[in-house]
Amino acid sequence: MKINHYLIGFAISSLFRRDAKSFFIIFIFTSLIFLLSSILFISNSIKEELFITLDSLPQITVQKLQAGRHANIEISRVDKLLKLNGVQSAIPRVWGYYYFENAGVNFSIVGIDSFDKQYKKNFEELVENIDFDELEKNDSMIVGEGVKEILSQNYYKDFFNFVKADGELKKIKISSVFKSSTVLESNDIILMPKNLVLDIFGMSKLKVTDIVLEVANPQEIPTISQKIKNLFPDTRVITNSDLRVSYQNIFDYKSGMFLALFVVSAFTFFMIIYDKASGLSSEEKREIGVLKALGWKIDDIIKIKFYEAFIVSFISFLLGIIVALFFVYILQAPLLRDIFMGYSRLKPAFELPFILDLQTIFLLFFLTIPIYIAAIIIPSWRVAIMNADEVMR
Amino acid sequence: MFLTPEIIAIYTLNIIFLFFSIFAFIISINIVMHWNVNRTDERQYGLEKKSILVATIIKFIFILKLPLFIFFVFTANKISGVITGAMCAAGVVNSISFGLWLFVFKILNLFIFGFWIALHNMDTKDEQLSLTKLKFSIFIVAFMLLVIEIIYEISFFSSLNIDKIVSCCGTLFSVASSSSFSFIFNIPSSIAIGFFYLIFSLLVVFSFLKNEPLFLVINIIFFITALISLILFFGTYIYELPTHHCPYCFLQQEYYYVGYLLYITLFIGTFSGISGSILSMLNRKNRKDFYKKSLLFNSIYVAIVTAYPIVYYIKNGVWL
């Protein structure tokens, strides 16, 4: 197949001759592509941000299940887990959600002991800089930036009254605010000594929320998690890769849902184009009549129509992607990103990292341009087979 | 079953293909039954016009199917991250019993649709349109194959199970496996390599002899031996790992996507050889430049795969 550049030139000038119509189609098509590509870009970026966070999460988390629900796990199990070959460390964690009714938000309270090994790097730095024994003596805590803001809106400037499980109040001072590199994970966090957390939640001193393990050789993770299951049949063992898979699934599912809706609008668009391409003005009909009288073949006229369609869809494709890139990465996708963020009053404000891979571009291409071109096949063939004498009459 | 954006895109395109090819199929049956160039009535004119529509539809499908095939492999590679045990497309494809057949049909359909377009181009140059009936009969067969492929593809994606543990390519492509590939490993690799270069040298000789039937047969044999020797021998040098035989892994980033280059050159080389030979047998006036094209691309393929072991030997001083 040879491409005839005179035909392309003719196609371009015929698009210009019908500028209002071409502009209208390009406009609609661009907005469709823009919407679709924004959604895919946002979903890719958030997924990437989560995968970065994932690397800092523990390799194995062991939870106890009772009657199918998460229950606190005995602290004595830590020693048994440490005896498994390949386990480098086992850290008992005490944490939970505290619902603050006035603001309608959940805080994540995390218990920290200075002599424990920390399972997160940014916690480790904190432990080095802050004396947790001192915090315990003074009944004080460290809060994330988002928490600090909510508290001061409710006039808790330097302390907060926690309502304990038995209804008593526990007054805890705010000692400092901590910042972290990934806002997504630290915005709603409150750090305080373990004993205080146990006190607030009314938990037994012999139990912890869950246990996280560190494994020296990542390839041993599946084997070790199997061993833990055999050792404690009442536990749920969550590995790093389990989380990765479920993140991937959630985001594929979310963008899949959106896409399923998009397909409907794409078919509507298909109908519009089909209709537009079929209804020719008498002037256009005369033009084709003249071309045929000049000796153009049916194939040539179909070719012209294809070139026109390709030019229109390609321009819209480029425009749509450029506008979407601008919207998502420079304007940070107002409105649309809420679809993926879920809703929470303590929603962290974070930047969408810039991700643009070939596969997404491919995907966008397959979802848009073929639909447009498919819509014009039959109408342009109908146009092309008209007899010269009929249309010029 | 799970719906990723990629799978929805593939479904959508399949539905478009199905819609248009059913249209083309009905017209083709009409043409095969009633075509007669010598008649000058309304029906014959109508059929001639409709034949152009069918040709346009087939070109549309073929031009999309080429990149879509690459996209399919890409998607399978991506899904392998989600399915337990799978490390590349091989695990995903083999997690379903007919996965391999889906691949076979995809490649077969690419060959047939490509050939159809070459046939069509030759037919439109002929004033008598003598090949029209033949080409539409071929399309009726191609339509059946396309429908089978689409049914396979839709049931493939809908029966993918995330929770099932599948075999990774390392076990699928090994001597010990009982998969559909294991028969290959009964061939000693020295014989496979010798055979591969023998076939290639015959291909060179035949391209100078310009004998179509021989060239056709040798291209088909070359395609098969190239795949077998790639799995048996050349693949291990791409991975620099004597036990890894997977024909999918080198499509991934770690190997600089070299697999796409290999498969595309091999496809163009053998396709132009096969279709060119058939067309020349049908019509003596057909241009003979396909010999050069086929030889060129097959040689590029051979050069790339040969380079891997040689570079490995120069670097390390030993063979795997």
pLDDT score for B41 = 87
Using the structure block, give the residue that is written with the tokens 């996965």. Answer: B99
State what percent of residues in chain B have pLDDT above 90. 38
pLDDT score for A293 = 87
- Residues B200 and B295: their CA atoms lie apart, in Å, by 9
Q: Among B71, B81, B82, select the one facing A366 at the smallest CB separation.
A: B71
Name which of A169-178, A330-339, B32-41, B192-201 the model is least confident about: A330-339
pLDDT score for B127 = 77
pLDDT score for A279 = 75
The torsion angles phi and psi of A360, rounded to 5 degrees, stand at: -65, -40
Is there a contact between A256 and B9 if contact means CB atoms under 8 Å apart? no
Is the pLDDT confidence value at A238 over 80?
yes
| Positive or negative torsion for Cα A109, A112, A117, A120 | positive
Is the pLDDT confidence value at B230 over 80?
yes
List C-alpha distances in Å: B134 to A202, B142, B202.
Answer: 84, 12, 31
Q: Among B60, B67, B68, select the one facing A373 at the smallest CB separation.
A: B60
Query: How far off is chain A from B80, nearest CA to CA, in Å?
Result: 10
The chain A residue lying nearest B21, using CA atoms, is A374
Q: Read off the tokens for A38.
A: 């924004």
Residues 6+ away with beta carbon under 8 Å from B132: B31, B35, B37, B51, B123
Residues facing A173 on adjacent strands = A140, A159
Angle, helices B258-282 vs B212-229, to 10°: value is 160
- Residues A128 and B124: their CA atoms lie apart, in Å, by 81
DSSP string, A210-248: EEEEEESSGGGHHHHHHHHHHH-TTEEEEEHHHHHHHHH
CB A189 within 8 A of CB A195: no
| Residue A169, number of CB atoms within 10 A of its CB | 9
Which residue type sits at B71? F
In the structure, what pLDDT confidence band is assigned to residue A348 with cuts at 50, 70 and 90? low
Selection from A136-140, A143-147, A298-302 with the highest mean pLDDT: A298-302
Is the pLDDT confidence value at A235 over 60?
yes
List C-alpha distances in Å: B281 to A42, B218, B278.
Answer: 55, 15, 5
Q: Are strands A210-215 and A60-66 parallel, antiparallel or unpaired?
A: antiparallel
**At A171, is the secondary structure helix, strand, or coil?**
strand
pLDDT score for B199 = 93
pLDDT tens profile A98-126: 888 888 888 888 888 766 666 666 676 66
Q: Read off the tokens for B171.
A: 């076990």
Mean pLDDT, residues B144-170: 84
Is the pLDDT confidence value at B121 over 90?
no
Judged on CB neighbours under 10 Å (0-12, 13-18, 19+), B195 is middle
In the structure, what pLDDT confidence band is assigned to residue A347 with cuts at 50, 70 and 90? low
Is the pLDDT confidence value at A3 over 80?
no
Q: Are strands A105-112 and A95-100 parallel, antiparallel or unpaired?
A: antiparallel
- Is A378 or B173 the better-scoring residue by pLDDT? A378
- Residues A354 and A341: their CA atoms lie apart, in Å, by 17
- Is A249 or A233 the better-scoring residue by pLDDT? A233
In the structure, what pLDDT confidence band is assigned to residue A336 with cuts at 50, 70 and 90? confident
| Residue B33, number of CB atoms within 10 A of its CB | 10
pLDDT score for A10 = 87
Put simply, whether B20 touches A (Cβ < 8 Å) is: yes
- Residues A70 and A95: their CA atoms lie apart, in Å, by 13
Is there a contact between A381 and B13 if contact means CB atoms under 8 Å apart? no
Put simply, whether A51 touches B (Cβ < 8 Å) is: no
Strands (E), A101-149: 105-112, 140-144
CA angle A348, A157, A154 (to 5 degrees): 65
H-state helical runs in A294-357 = 298-325, 338-341
